[in-house]
Structure 1
Amino acid sequence: MTVPTVVLEARDGVLVISIDRPEVLNAIDQPTAELLAHAFTRLDEDDRARVGVLHGGAKAFSTGADLRAVAAGQSPVVPGRGFGGLTERPPRKPLVAAIEGYALGGGLEMALACDLIVASRTTQLGLPEVTRGLIASAGGLLRLPTRLPHSVAMRMALTGERLTGEQAFDLHLVSELVEPGRAQEAAVALAARIAENAPLSVQASKRLVNAAVDGATDELLRLQAELQARLLVSWDVAEGIAAFKEKRPPRWEGR
Structure 2
Amino acid sequence: MSEIEIEREGHVAILWLNRPDRLNAVNEAMTKAMRAALTEIEQDGSLRALVLAGRGRVFCAGMDLAAFAAGERPGLLDPDRFAGFANAQRSKPVIAAVQGAALAGGFEIVLACDMVVAAEGTKFGLPEVKRGLFPAGGGTIRLPRRIPPVLANEMLLTGEPIEASRAHALGLVNRVVPADDLVGTALDLARRIAENAPLAVRSALALARDAGATAEAELWAANDALWRRVDTSDDALEGARAFAEKRAPVWKGR
TM-score range, shorter chain: over 0.9
Question: How many equivalent pairs are there?
Answer: 253
2:13 is the alignment partner of 1:15: yes
* TM-score scaled by length of structure 2: 0.94
**Distance in 2 between residues matched to 1:40 and 1:238, nearest whole Å:** 31
**Distance in 2 between residues matched to 1:167 and 1:242, nearest whole Å:** 32
The one-letter code of the counterpart of 2:219 is L
Alignment of 1:1-255 (within 5 A): 3-77=1-75, 79-255=78-254
Instruction: Say if 1:41 and 1:91, in contact at 8 Å, map to a contact too.
Output: no
The one-letter code of the counterpart of 1:171 is L
**Distance in 1 between residues matched to 2:185 and 2:100, nearest whole Å:** 15
For residue 90 of structure 1, report the CA deviation from its aligned partner: 4.1
**Distance in 2 between residues matched to 1:133 and 1:68, nearest whole Å:** 14
The one-letter code of the counterpart of 2:231 is L
Instruction: Say if 1:43 and 1:51, in contact at 8 Å, map to a contact too.
Output: no
Unaligned regions of 5+ residues in structure 1, if any?
none
For residue 89 of structure 1, report the CA deviation from its aligned partner: 1.8
Instruction: Say if 1:15 and 1:53, in contact at 8 Å, map to a contact too.
Output: yes
**Distance in 2 between residues matched to 1:73 and 1:242, nearest whole Å:** 12
For residue 72 of structure 1, report the CA deviation from its aligned partner: 3.3
For residue 29 of structure 1, report the CA deviation from its aligned partner: 1.5
The one-letter code of the counterpart of 2:199 is L
Q: Deviations over 1:30-82 (max 9, x none)?
A: 12111111111122111110001110024111111112223334332173321
Q: Deviations over 1:195-248 (max 9, x none)?
A: 111111111111111111111111111110100111122222233223323333
The one-letter code of the counterpart of 2:59 is F
Unaligned regions of 5+ residues in structure 2, if any?
none
Instruction: Say if 1:105 and 1:126, in contact at 8 Å, map to a contact too.
Output: yes
Instruction: Say if 1:59 and 1:101, in contact at 8 Å, map to a contact too.
Output: yes
Instruction: Say if 1:90 and 1:113, in contact at 8 Å, map to a contact too.
Output: no
Q: Deviations over 1:109-143 (max 9, x none)?
A: 11111100100112111110011111111111111
The one-letter code of the counterpart of 1:178 is V
* TM-score scaled by length of structure 1: 0.94
**Percent of aligned pairs with the same residue?**
40
